[in-house]
Amino acid sequence: MKIEFPESLPKSGALAVAVTKDKTLSSTAKLIDQQTQGAITRALKVGRFTGEKDQVLELVAPAGLNLSRIVLYGLGDPKVIDALALENAGGNVVQRVSGTGDSDVVIAVDALPRCKLKTPTMAAEVAFGARLGGYRFDRYLTDEKPEKKPSVKRLGVYAKNAAAAARAYERLAEVAEGVELTRNLVSEPANVLYPASFAARCEELKDIGVKVEVLDLAQIKKLGMRALIGVAQGSANEPRVVIMRWNGGAKADDKPIAFIGKGVTFDTGGISIKPAAGMEEMKWDMGGAGVVTGLMRALAGRKAKVNVVAALGLVENMPSSTAQRPGDVVKAMSGKTIEVINTDAEGRLVLADVLWHIQQRFKPKVMIDLATLTGAIIVALGHNHAGLFANNDRLADWLLEAGLATGERLWRMPLHDSYEQDIKSPIADIKNVGDRWAGSISAALFLKHFVNDGPWAHLDIAGTTWCYKNQPTVPKGGSGFGVRLLDRLVADHYERGGAKK
């Protein structure tokens, strides 16, 4: 979908205009109402549309215009309109019009009394939401009928000072590229996306200035990543560790921020095999690695003024005659020994070695890992929040703020030493699972054993990596959850010249 910022209203196609709380028409809506002899006013009198946030009403072919349809989008109370409301409006309009057959739609964005946001910023956020909401992963649909495909090909966002709106959108467009990359990776089937092919996709980021290093099995063995190798040893697909660097800070030797992603490209559970029902969803057990890759695309694309190192542990967890067994003991790269009670608790073994390697090699100022780590976090939080575990209150607060600002919500979970008994092993330093209770907490505590005293946070995104029901800016499928969140964290608190320090 091509996005433009025209300087005039369209003469054809669909036009979307804003209505705020209590059926208050925006200036463009008033203009269209006059040109159609009150078509909008009449529609508001006989329907339930009141202009509340997220409401959408479609009027087909009104008299007096050559447009195909008018779409009314609600924004609610102007005093509380924020970026998320505008993004949702853009997504709602595109999703509605995409089912009509129209290929062109223009969304009019007007200055609103008592709204705190400037019009160019509003227009950019609407365009951002429309792009996210118009995403679709359809590369394997070869015989879909044309009438079933989304119809919108061109989106215009009309606002006063179109040039300023286009400039404001430039940064958001790069973030959208990162979100879309993550969604694409998460949506790929495991026969297409496996450790080596995932690493190859990461290498494509070299084109925008990201330094990419791919470690193969021999190099991983040399480093002593035995916990990671144990997970991978049952698969014909050898593991990879990918290290990506973006150096946009004031000084090349400034300590970086580190992001680490779990990348289990398919998880059968290994010898502790999962039930067959729903196992196909385990193609997205690499969601954490997908988010980290998309984040690097976003940061490099918008030339973020910060030094970042990202690391992915890429493995496939399969059952075979060479697979790791329950009861095995492995020595992690740190030297700590781990009793493997359940081979389906594999992601923490992968992260243990990658976390250790990154902190020893790069000495980052902060580390954040992301992983579809536990089903227990879904039991606790459902699909509305990701779990946040942190050893630093300030970092936790910053992440929570970024989650609220971007709509990618987090909920802080306890990380208390009283849970340590759950992962105490009788024959090794620790074991990789506890009992059935507090599973996401014991998993996070396991990871804490491989983190030194620096600020660290773990995001358990098992419940938010896949969207099961269409949302305005997140169509059903891979969600891209985490890219916007972490980009906002970097911009607000770590980037040179950022909004907050």
Looking up tokens 């509003």 gives: 122
Whether 252 and 305 have beta carbons less than 8 Å apart is answered as no
Catalytic residue among 183, 297, 348, 484, which? 348
* Mode of pairing for the β-strands spanning 410-412 and 386-390: parallel
Handedness of CA 368, 374, 380, 382 (dihedral sign): positive
Looking up tokens 């946040």 gives: 388
Residues 6+ apart with CB under 8 A from 363: 255
For the record, the structure tokens of 339 come out as: 């009793």
DSSP code of residue 59: E
- DSSP string covering 349-406: HHHHHHHHHHHHHH--SEEEEEE---SHHHHHHTTT-EEEEES-HHHHHHHHHHHHHH
Spatial separation of the C-alpha atoms in residues 105 and 94, rounded to whole Å: 8
**348 catalytically annotated:** yes
Q: Which of 62, 54, 61, 127 is nearest to 96 (CA)?
A: 54
Q: Which of 430, 433, 434, 435 is nearest to 450 (CA)?
A: 430
Crossing angle of helices 39-46 and 27-35, in 10° steps, is 100
Q: Which of 357, 327, 377, 353 is nearest to 446 (CA)?
A: 353
Q: Which of 145, 141, 44, 153 is nearest to 104 (CA)?
A: 153
| Bridge partners (DSSP) listed for residue 3 | 155
Number of H helices, E strands in the chain: 14, 20
Query: Widest CA span of the chain, in angstroms?
Result: 82
Catalytic residue among 42, 201, 274, 412, which? 274
- DSSP string covering 178-228: HHHHHHHHHHS-TTTS-HHHHHHHHHGGGGGT-EEEEE-HHHHHHHT-HHH
Spatial separation of the C-alpha atoms in residues 432 and 129, rounded to whole Å: 40
Q: Which residues are designated catalytic?
A: 274, 348
